[in-house]
Structure 1
Amino acid sequence: MKRITVKEVEQKLDNGEKLNIIDVREVGEVATGKIPLAINIPLGLIEFKKQDLDKNENYIIVCRSGGRSAQAVAFLESYGYNVTNMDGGMMAWEGELEF
């Protein structure tokens, strides 16, 4: 499983890199703030939404602490998606939030 730190994600965003970030938390959790431009696909819906993702793109998967995102990464990897788990999740995020 590929992994990336919160600081690495923040640095990439600060450098203006276009990132595909998927937040797999529940809608109520995302309402408390998410990484700007991240799209919300709750973990329970990943199976049904995977066909909307491009296998040629890289996706950074985020949750509250890194556990659910690791599950999503393992699942998506098994279908050939290029995905990376953000270690520490939103509990470790110190960057800008979008509400």
Structure 2
Amino acid sequence: MDNLYLIIAAVIIVFLFLRRFSTANNKAIKNLTAEEAYELIKSNKDVVIIDVRTKDEYMKGHISGSKSIPVGELSTRLSELQKYKDKPVLVHCASGGRSPAALRILLKNDFSQILHLKRGLMGWNYGLK
């Protein structure tokens, strides 16, 4: 019985790793460091920043100009983002754990310029609003 639990745990760990790895290496998604994201935001006024953390997390501090769309609501709020399908969309969460789910939703819905803030706000040193 102990072996069964170990096998189940191993399968779950592999599944979670592969899910995260699949978005990290997807060529349709550009992973950015905090520095790269900051420079892009400064230089490109078309960048749409999507914060997929909870509303409470967002209220405690967020990147200036970002839109709060928690990852659990993204599928039902895609209509708000339709006008940005061909613009750069930068997605982030707190640490990079939740944003891959949002990236998959955007990919599935044909967003053409998906950007991902690696490490989420953990790596962000440029101030929050």
Structure 2 length normalisation: TM-score? Answer: 0.70
Partner letter of residue 42 of structure 1?
P
1:36 aligns with 2:50: no
Q: Which residue of structure 2 lines up, in the alignment, with residue 69 of structure 1?
A: 99
Instruction: Provide Cα deviations, 1:38-89, integer angstroms capped at 9, x if missing partner.
Output: 0000011100111221312220001001121111001110110132211010
Write out the 4+ residue segments of structure 1 that deviate beyond 3 Å after TM superposition. Answer: none
In the alignment, structure 2 segments of 5+ residues that lack a partner are 1-25
Larger radius of gyration: 2
Instruction: Report the RMSD for the aligned CA atoms in angstroms.
Output: 1.3
Partner letter of residue 115 of structure 2?
T
Distance of 1:72 and 1:13 partners within structure 2 = 20
Distance of 1:5 and 1:50 partners within structure 2 = 25
Task: Select the structure that is richer in helix.
Answer: 2
Instruction: Provide Cα deviations, 1:2-45, integer angstroms capped at 9, x if missing partner.
Output: 2111110112234x421210000001111221000000000111
Q: What does 1:15-94 correspond to in 2, within 5 Å?
A: 16-18=43-45, 19-53=47-81, 54=83, 55-82=85-112, 83-94=114-125
SS of aligned partner of 1:67:
coil
Distance of 2:35 and 2:100 partners within structure 1 = 18
Q: How many residues align structurally?
A: 97
Structure scoring higher RCO (CA < 8 A, sep ≥ 6) equals 1
In the alignment, structure 1 segments of 5+ residues that lack a partner are none
